[in-house]
């Protein structure tokens, strides 16, 4: 695992208070249709909002906040769009403020958590969200962020989908979100023995409901594992799941 500076609890709590305020606010009239839409919150590091093919203005759907891996952007989460279409899930994918990775990896909670608060508040004004069905997820460094942040904001996010996480550094504990973790047995980027095989027993020992999947492979996540994670979080798909072309 990587060596980290201690995340700041004050910054984290300030951001989660912003998330709670956003979740409690009233949405305005929905204006967007299905498809991918830029957030328009930053000229350089922005993000996107994806409304699934079955989205209808005014009809609330679950929301998954999805974090990209190190060196990526929101464009890196396209792998989840077919599942979002099949299960009827809105995806909010912010860009990290630092182009390298998320704030907890380079210092502590702060700018990324603040940006997430702003992006989530904006999302509630742009589309209809089922606020009782909020989740966070991601791959690699994005999984580390989802896992660490989601445990601290478990009173807001009921599910966490973590594909190949590398660190686990929650600075607060609220609620008891259900957790899905997957990891490749031959992962050389985030070696499984130093990461998920330590995280899972620790989380279960703390009373978390953890579903854990190991697979024969490296750092990339197989489509079958992504499909299983969405089915775990959202039940049987509303429409047949298409097979991604890779």
**CA 102 → CA 13, 32, 82, 116, distances in Å?**
17, 28, 25, 11
pLDDT tens digits along 58-80: 899 999 999 999 998 999 999 99
pLDDT tens digits along 94-115: 999 888 888 877 767 778 888 9
41-67 core/surface letters (b: 16 or more CB in 10 A; e: else): eeeebbbbbbbbebbeeeebbbbbbbb
Distance CA 241, CA 237 (A): 7
Average pLDDT of the chain is 86
Provide φ and ψ at 210, rounded to 5°: -115, 125
Banded pLDDT at 170 (limits 50, 70, 90)? confident
| Range of weakest confidence among 9-23, 31-45, 168-182, 209-223 | 9-23
Q: Residues, the chain, total?
A: 246
**CA 222 → CA 29, 137, 144, 182, distances in Å?**
38, 16, 18, 10
Average pLDDT for residues 219-230, to the nearest whole number?
Answer: 95
Contact between 66 and 91 under an 8 Å Cβ cutoff? The reply is yes
- The predicted model scores a pTM of 0.86
pLDDT of residue 240: 61
Has residue 1 got a pLDDT over 80?
A: no
Contact between 105 and 68 under an 8 Å Cβ cutoff? The reply is no
**In the chain, where are the structural domains located?**
9-230
pLDDT of residue 236: 80
pLDDT tens digits along 133-158: 999 999 999 999 999 999 999 999 99
Residue among 126, 149, 128 at smallest CA distance from 65: 149
Burial category of 111 from C-beta neighbours within 10 Å (exposed 0-12, middle 13-18, buried 19 and up): middle
Element (H, E) at 203: helix 196-205
Has residue 5 got a pLDDT over 50?
A: no
CATH code for the structural domain at 9-230: 3.40.50.1820
């Amino acid at each position: 695992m990587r060596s980290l500076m201690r995340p700041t609890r004050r910054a984290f709590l300030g951001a989660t208070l912003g998330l709670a305020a956003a979740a409690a606010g009233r949405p305005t009239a929905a204006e967007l249709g299905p498809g991918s839409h830029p957030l328009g919150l930053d000229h350089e590091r922005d993000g996107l909002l994806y409304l699934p093919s079955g989205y209808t203005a005014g009809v609330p759907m679950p929301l998954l906040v999805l974090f990209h891996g190190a060196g990526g952007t929101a464009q890196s989460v396209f792998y989840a769009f077919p599942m979002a279409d099949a299960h009827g899930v809105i995806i909010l994918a912010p860009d990290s403020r630092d182009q390298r990775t998320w704030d907890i990896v380079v210092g502590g909670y702060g700018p990324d958590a603040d940006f997430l608060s702003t992006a989530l508040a904006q999302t509630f004004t742009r589309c209809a969200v089922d606020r009782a069905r909020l989740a966070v997820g991601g791959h690699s460094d994005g999984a580390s962020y989802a896992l660490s942040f989601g445990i601290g904001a478990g009173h807001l996010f009921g599910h966490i989908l973590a594909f190949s996480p590398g660190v686990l550094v929650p600075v607060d504990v609220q609620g008891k979100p259900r957790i899905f973790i997957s990891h490749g047995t031959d992962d050389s980027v985030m070696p499984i023995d130093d990461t998920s095989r330590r995280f899972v027993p620790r989380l279960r020992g703390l009373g978390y409901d953890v579903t854990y999947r190991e697979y024969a492979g490296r750092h990339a996540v197989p489509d079958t594992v992504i499909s299983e994670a969405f089915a775990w979080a959202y039940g049987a798909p509303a429409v047949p799941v298409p097979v991604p072309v890779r």
